């Protein structure tokens, strides 16, 4: 057999006779195991294996020699190789029977699969993480649905109590009304939080739907603001309107949600200063703008305020889940629109929503920014 041809092959190649004595090692084998070939020729092949594998290898070698056959890479021995410096590496080994000078021998091709194992492990961990995320989102979706039922019942009971209170005489309404209003505010806040969690789980699972209808963005914005204006007033801010009729096609309930999220955000961070709500049409688009004169957002934080559970200020200073702007962006983008922020720290913030008057057919909202394991 012409052994010189084996020098051009990329795999580490080791030839041993039936007694396990090394007869030949190619240059790739020298590089892999760290031995000059002169130091290996004449030594038992088990020197290239960790001690714990050597007895087992001798048994397998005897079994193989009793019925020599080709064992392809990946289907043969799956062991660890041992370098000259004592370090181990995961190895795949294929075996083939050959004749050297008329004597039966075995040629072993050896590959260091450490990098491949690392890649496979990263892929396995990625799949596991994705599955855990999916299970978490399924849980959030189910939990949010379950929580909505008692909240709806609680809201109904509060409405009945409010109606009963108006029929009472004397001082009872003055005693009950403040408490009922406080309960109603807290129930509404809890309902908003649950709806945010439900929306996030739907978005990650690609299940949120947008139902387009003809509507006036100015009217929808005023209606949405009417539910929040009192809360903004309690924060010390006053809500100013600048609404120009702006007919378009959009999901009325979803855009009300966007307006509500932006106004709640402005009231929270507005530091008791005026909040302004604007709507106007311009060409093929309609625009909605919410601005405040509060603490503002530093430039380095402006992109991440639209991400899930992100905020530009410490969570302990301001409430909420850090989902309002994320949900708003997903809804706006599902309409084929954009949402942007212009702000400076200490100088307030202006959020601008641009919606096409005639958006493309709605598509399920997909999670943005998902990492691809192939790029890591």
Number of domains the chain is built from: 3
DSSP string spanning 9-28? Answer: -SSEEEEEETT-BEEEE-HH
Q: Is residue 368 part of a domain?
A: no
Is the distance from CB of 187 to CB of 154 less than 8 angstroms? yes
The Cβ of residue 173 has, within 10 Å, a number of other Cβ atoms equal to: 15
Distance (Å, whole) CA 354 – CA 340? 9
Domain endpoint, select from 152, 173, 205: 205
Whether 253 contacts 216, CB under 8 Å = no
> For position 315, what pLDDT does the model report?
42
Could you list the residue range(s) of the whole structural domain that residue 143 is in? 119-205
Residue where a domain stops, chosen among 151, 173, 205:
205
pLDDT, position 371 = 39
Mean pLDDT by 10 residues, the chain (376 residues): 73 90 92 92 91 84 83 61 90 87 89 87 87 71 63 72 66 63 69 66 63 94 88 84 95 91 86 90 96 85 73 45 78 91 86 93 48 36
Q: Please check whether residues 43 and 126 belong to one and the same domain.
A: no
* 75 and 125 housed in the same domain: no
Burial 303-339 (b: 16+ CB within 10 A, else e): eebbebeebbeeeeeeebbbbbbbbbbbbbbbbbbeb
Alpha-carbon distances, residue 3 vs 20, 30, 101, 209 (angstroms): 18, 15, 11, 68
Q: Decide if 47 contacts 34 (C-beta within 8 A).
A: no
Task: Note whether residue 369 is domain-resident.
Answer: no
Does 182 share its domain with 218? no
User: How far apart are the two ends of the chain, measured CA to CA in Å?
Assistant: 44
240, 127: one domain: no
Whether 77 is in a domain gets the answer: yes
CATH number at residue 98: 3.30.450.20
Give dist(CA 285, CA 84) in Å, integer. Answer: 71
Looking at the fold, whether 198 and 316 belong to one and the same domain comes out as no
Count other C-beta atoms under 10 Å from residue 30's C-beta.
17
235 lies in the same domain as 301: yes
Domain boundary among 71, 92, 112: 112
Q: What is the pLDDT of residue 175?
A: 62
Does residue 316 share a domain with residue 277?
Answer: yes
Residue 150 CB burial class (10 angstroms; 0-12, 13-18, ≥19): exposed
Same domain for 313 and 291: yes
pTM listed for this prediction:
0.49
- Establish if 367 belongs to a structural domain: no
What pLDDT does residue 282 have? Answer: 95
pLDDT at residue 370 in the model: 40
Contact status, residue 258 vs residue 332, Cβ threshold 8 Å: yes
Region class of 320: left (phi > 0), else alpha (psi between -120 and 50), else beta? left
Flag whether 375 is in a domain. Answer: no
């Amino acid at each position: 057999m012409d052994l010189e041809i084996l020098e051009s092959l990329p795999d580490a190649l080791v030839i041993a006779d039936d007694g396990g004595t090394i007869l030949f090692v190619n240059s790739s084998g020298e590089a892999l195991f760290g031995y000059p070939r002169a130091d290996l020729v004449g030594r038992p092949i088990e020197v290239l294996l960790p001690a714990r594998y050597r007895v087992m290898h001798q048994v397998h070698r005897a079994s193989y020699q009793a019925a020599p056959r080709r064992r392809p890479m990946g289907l043969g021995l799956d062991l660890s190789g041992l370098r000259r410096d004592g370090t181990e590496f995961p190895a795949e080994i294929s075996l083939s029977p050959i004749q050297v000078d008329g004597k039966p021998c075995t040629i072993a091709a050896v590959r260091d699969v450490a990098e491949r194992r690392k890649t496979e492990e990263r892929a396995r961990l990625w799949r596991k993480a994705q599955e855990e995320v999916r299970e978490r989102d399924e849980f959030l979706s189910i939990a949010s649905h379950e929580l909505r039922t008692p909240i709806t019942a609680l809201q109904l009971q509060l409405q009945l109590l409010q109606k009963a209170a108006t029929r009472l005489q004397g001082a009872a309404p003055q005693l009950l009304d403040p408490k009922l209003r406080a309960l109603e505010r807290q129930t509404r806040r809890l309902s908003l939080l649950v709806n945010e969690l439900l929306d996030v789980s739907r978005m990650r699972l690609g299940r949120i739907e947008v139902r387009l209808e003809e509507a006036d963005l100015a009217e929808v914005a005023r209606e949405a603001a009417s539910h929040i204006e009192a809360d903004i007033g309690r924060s010390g801010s006053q809500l100013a309107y600048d609404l120009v009729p702006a007919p378009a096609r959009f999901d009325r309930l979803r855009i009300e949600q966007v307006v509500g999220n932006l106004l709640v955000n402005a009231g929270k961070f507005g530091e008791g200063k005026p909040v302004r709500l604007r709507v106007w049409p311009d060409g093929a688009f309609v625009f909605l703008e919410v601005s405040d004169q509060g603490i503002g957002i530093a430039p380095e934080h402006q992109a991440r305020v639209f991400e899930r559970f992100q905020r530009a200020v410490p969570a302990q200073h301001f409430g909420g889940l850090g989902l309002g702007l994320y949900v708003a962006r997903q809804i706006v983008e599902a309409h084929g629109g954009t949402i942007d922020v212009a702000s400076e720290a200490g100088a307030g913030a202006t959020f601008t929503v641009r919606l096409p008057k005639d958006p493309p057919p709605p598509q399920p909202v997909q999670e943005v920014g998902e990492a691809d394991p192939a790029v890591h």
